Amino acid sequence: MTSLIQGVFNQFPAEISKDFMGNNYVIKKGIKSKQAVMLAAHLDEIGLIVTYFDNLGFVHFSTVGGIDQRTLLNQEVIIHGREDINGVVSLVSREKLTASKKSFLIDDLIIDIGYSQEKTVQLVKPGDVVSIKREPFTMLNQNIAGKALDDRAGITVMAVCLNELCRIDHKHDVIAVATVQEEVGLRGAFTGTDRIKPEIAVAIDVTHAQTLDTKAQVNIQLGKGPVITLGPNIHPRIYSGLQTAAKENRIPYQIQPVAGPTGTDARVIQLSGQGIPTGLVSIPLRYMHTSVETISVLDVVDCGKLLAYYIASLPEDLEELSCF
């Protein structure tokens, strides 16, 4: 993954490094200040892990992160064992497939790799990671669908932001962090924030967009612009600054109040050290934690531009943002 990150960010005048956790850091220097603005988007994805295999050679598994179990049946997967092995998720017993059953538990499912038990034990062991096999594809209206857009779309937002900052003066150093292990406990953001100790930070993630089954429970819409979060996890002056930057630069945006922890990297960034003033910008996304997560390319581009214009508008001394 580091080579992929370098391939994306090497085009910018920036320093790229990595820590022992696997976080990737892209540092673009500002023109005046030695203070730092942190951007964070996670590069890990939800998946599966091998738990054991039975006497028929079928592989049993558990989840890594909050994968939508309803969508697993008949998915193509790759077991990353001694070599990459293709498999198909199937049912333990066809008797489980009844008209009354709405979804299946993990214990109902196995991975069929086509081998006997003897051959399986040579190639697969408990603890091997399993990923969903799915290539992204384009849809109408500048939308795309695929796996792991949560949150690799956020990585793209950081690239768009740095691209914009190459032609806009900005005072402060910008450190874009591609964090790890967000889906299993926000771990990369915790260690990354402690390492760089930024003055302020903005996390970038995805948020649920309306679908037919969400009815009135979700108000965020695909293609209507970045989502700016407010609530106790968010510093009010960063929220208002993002909102002002959107208005002044005619970027469409949506507001999302979150009454508690956001469940994103913003949660641990805010609580790091003596506290970091933190914001959150999200990309509307449909079908979260499935292999067909769907986003609008326009929303991604607008998110990156919004962050760039916000960073360019920051005062010379970021300490004043710590005040309410």
Which active-site residues does the annotation give?
182
Q: Please, which residues have CB within 8 angstroms of residue 213's CB and are 6 or more apart in sequence?
A: none
Helices H / strands E in the chain, number of each: 7, 17
Coil vs helix vs strand at 278: strand
CB 283 within 8 A of CB 144: no
271 Ramachandran zone, left/alpha/beta (phi>0; psi -120 to 50): alpha
CB 48 within 8 A of CB 77: yes
User: Cα 28–31–32 angle (5° rounding)?
Assistant: 120
CA distance 173 to 109: 49
Question: Token digits for 8?
Answer: 């994306």
Question: Token digits for 297?
Answer: 């390319």
DSSP string, 256-282: EE-SS--SSHHHHHHHSTT---EEEEE
